[in-house]
Amino acid sequence: MVYKSKEHAQEEILHHYLSGKWKGILSLIVEIINSAVFVFLIVYGWRILKFISQQISPSMGLNMTLIYSAVFISSIVCLI
């Protein structure tokens, strides 16, 4: 929610000193980097989920897929 409403931590120092055109370019660069990170987390999150699908947490008795799926699901939500 915070990410889409642009209330998350941003590059405020540079943003303050740039003109309108450069602010847009900087925002585009930041969005591209964020999207690349989310795609990376989705791809490798999926690989981790496949790798640990048979592991059980010794202390809680939970399937580790439930725990690690948080990274995968939150990355998809942020990318959308």
CB burial of residue 75 (10 Å; 0-12, 13-18, 19+)? buried
How much is the average pLDDT of 14-37?
Answer: 82
Q: Is residue 1 part of a domain?
A: no
How much is the average pLDDT of 41-67?
Answer: 86
Q: Does 35 have pLDDT greater than 70? A: yes
Average pLDDT of the residues of the chain: 81
Q: Is residue 29 part of a domain?
A: yes
pTM of the model: 0.68
The more confident residue out of 25 and 14 is: 25
pLDDT interval class at 36 (50, 70, 90) = very high
Q: Which of 32, 29, 31 is nearest to 6 (CA)?
A: 31
Domain range for residue 63? 12-79
Domain count of the chain? 1
% of the chain surpassing 70 pLDDT: 84
Question: Look-up: residue for tokens 């496949």?
Answer: 50
Q: What are residue 63's DSSP bridge partners? A: 56
